[in-house]
């Protein structure tokens, strides 16, 4: 009898353990950037927080490479090819309108301020409009201020920029470049090394981080702008069916880590690598200049029209008082510490 009891206890323990294992939710996590890139490491940090705060009920299986190229990531998460990932809204031109507000020039000098402020504006004004329908938005954020980089010569005017060929990442900078008469081509960030090393492109518009992340040792010149020449809108997202299948307890954990905490996490990561990359650029011999007032004014003159054009498009998409939302966004950036 005793041996039978021991067997029964062992069996029940095994079944209990099996039940616990099956209750654990595992998210398939994809990144189209290298594992060492700040977006990959920030995503992993978020996953670690998720596992810790759920006492192990939720964890991430981070894939060694992205399930699709960057422009297809939104649809991949929507369709369940990955449960969690991030993407650049501007990689699919014309699809997202309201999010372009985070891509305008001269917004701010660090990613934390623009990311946290963007998240606040998004939650208040954009989320109710459902432009990211099809996914569960965990957070929105931006990179650091955009810079003009090239391998040929200093760029101190709009005319000098027009004499070179640049890779850009889409969004408002695509529209601005066209308005400025610059020769630019929309390509995903991971393609930059090949484009520049083969001479297909002379330079790229990037935040400072990217020179280090993509090993762009051919870059010799940088032109920065107060508040950045441009910015990029990112969305961090989850498959909605995966989220909806969670218990109320686990949904609460996901929600607590989403929104502003996640936006700040990505922004802090970006600011850290931006600073490190600027030091690397010094060692690399990159010559750096700040755009003079005439260059800044040339950009502002074109951007004024683009903001009016954006406001009209955003209003059609249901956004009330777009210019007021933009002013509120700029004001919110100044508040973020």
Q: Are residues 311 and 258 in the same domain?
A: no
pLDDT given for residue 92 in this prediction: 86
How far is residue 322 from each of residues 128, 200, 316, measured CA to CA in Å? 14, 38, 10
Q: What is the pTM of this model?
A: 0.89
131 and 176 inside one domain: no
**291, two tokens:** 């755009």
- β pairing state of 165-168 and 183-186: parallel
pLDDT, position 337:
80
Q: Which residues 6+ apart lie within 8 Å of 315 measured at CB?
A: 322
Q: Are residues 71 and 166 in the same domain?
A: no
pLDDT at 14: 44
Question: Are 281 and 266 members of one domain?
Answer: no
Token pair in block for residue 11 = 């069996």
pLDDT at position 82: 98
User: What residue ranges of the chain have pLDDT lower than 50?
Assistant: 1-22
Q: Choose among 212, 313, 249, 227: nearest CA to 23.
A: 249
User: CATH number for the domain including 130?
Assistant: 3.40.190.170
User: Do residue 72 and residue 134 come from a single domain?
Assistant: yes
The per-residue pLDDT for range 219-256, each reduced to its tens digit, is 999 999 999 999 999 999 999 999 999 999 999 999 99
| Same structural domain, 189 and 247 | no
Which DSSP string corresponds to 100-148?
Answer: GGGG-TT--SSHHHHHHHHHHHIIIIIGGGTTTTTSEEEEEEE-S--EE
The angle that helices 248-257 and 260-284 make with each other, rounded to 10 degrees, is 40
Paired tokens of 40: 């990959």
Does one domain contain both 324 and 188?
yes
Give residues with Cβ within 8 angstroms of 251, minimum separation 6: 243
pLDDT of res. 11 = 43
Q: How many residues does the chain have?
A: 337
Domain count, the chain: 2
Residues 311 and 293 in one domain: yes
Q: How far is CA 2 from CA 9, 11, 186, in A?
A: 11, 14, 73
Distance CA 181, CA 93 (A): 19
Whether 11 maps to a domain, the answer reads: no
Residues 237, 222 within the same domain: no
Instruction: Kindly state whether residue 41 falls inside one of the protein's structural domains.
Output: yes
Distance CA 91, CA 73 (A): 10
d(CA 219, CA 222) in angstroms, rounded, equals 8
For residue 251, the enclosing domain spans: 24-89+110-142+233-273
At 91 the pLDDT is 87
């Amino acid at each position: 009898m005793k041996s039978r009891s021991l067997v029964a206890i062992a069996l029940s323990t095994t079944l209990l353990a099996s039940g616990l294992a099956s209750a654990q939710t595992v998210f398939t996590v994809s990144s189209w950037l290298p594992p060492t890139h700040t977006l990959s490491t920030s995503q992993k940090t978020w996953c670690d927080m998720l596992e810790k705060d759920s006492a192990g009920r939720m964890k991430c299986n981070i894939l060694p490479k992205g399930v699709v190229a960057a422009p297809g990531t939104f649809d991949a998460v929507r369709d369940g090819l990955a449960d969690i990932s991030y993407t650049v809204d501007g990689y699919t031109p014309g699809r997202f309108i309201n999010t372009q507000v985070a891509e305008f020039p001269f917004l701010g000098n660090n990613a934390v301020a623009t990311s946290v402020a963007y998240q606040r504006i998004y939650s208040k004004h954009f989320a109710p409009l459902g432009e990211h329908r099809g996914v569960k938005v965990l957070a929105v954020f931006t990179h650091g201020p955009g810079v003009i980089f090239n391998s040929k010569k200093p760029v101190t005017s709009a005319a000098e920029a027009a004499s070179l060929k640049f890779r850009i990442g889409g969004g408002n900078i695509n529209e601005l470049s066209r308005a400025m008469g610059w020769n630019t081509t929309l390509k995903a960030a991971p393609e930059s090394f090949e484009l520049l090393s083969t001479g297909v492109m002379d330079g790229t518009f990037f935040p400072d981080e990217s020179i280090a992340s993509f090993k762009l040792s051919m870059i010799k010149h940088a032109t920065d702008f107060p508040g950045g020449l441009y910015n990029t809108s990112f969305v961090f997202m989850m498959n909605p069916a995966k989220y909806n299948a969670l218990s109320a307890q686990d949904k609460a954990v996901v929600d607590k880590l989403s929104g502003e905490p996640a936006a700040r996490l990505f922004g802090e990561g970006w600011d850290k690598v931006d600073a490190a990359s600027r030091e690397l650029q010094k060692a690399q011999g990159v010559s750096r200049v700040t755009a003079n007032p005439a260059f800044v004014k040339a950009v502002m003159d074109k951007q004024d029209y683009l903001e009016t054009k954006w406001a009209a498009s955003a209003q059609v998409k249901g956004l009330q008082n777009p210019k007021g939302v933009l002013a509120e966004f700029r004001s919110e950036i100044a508040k973020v510490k």
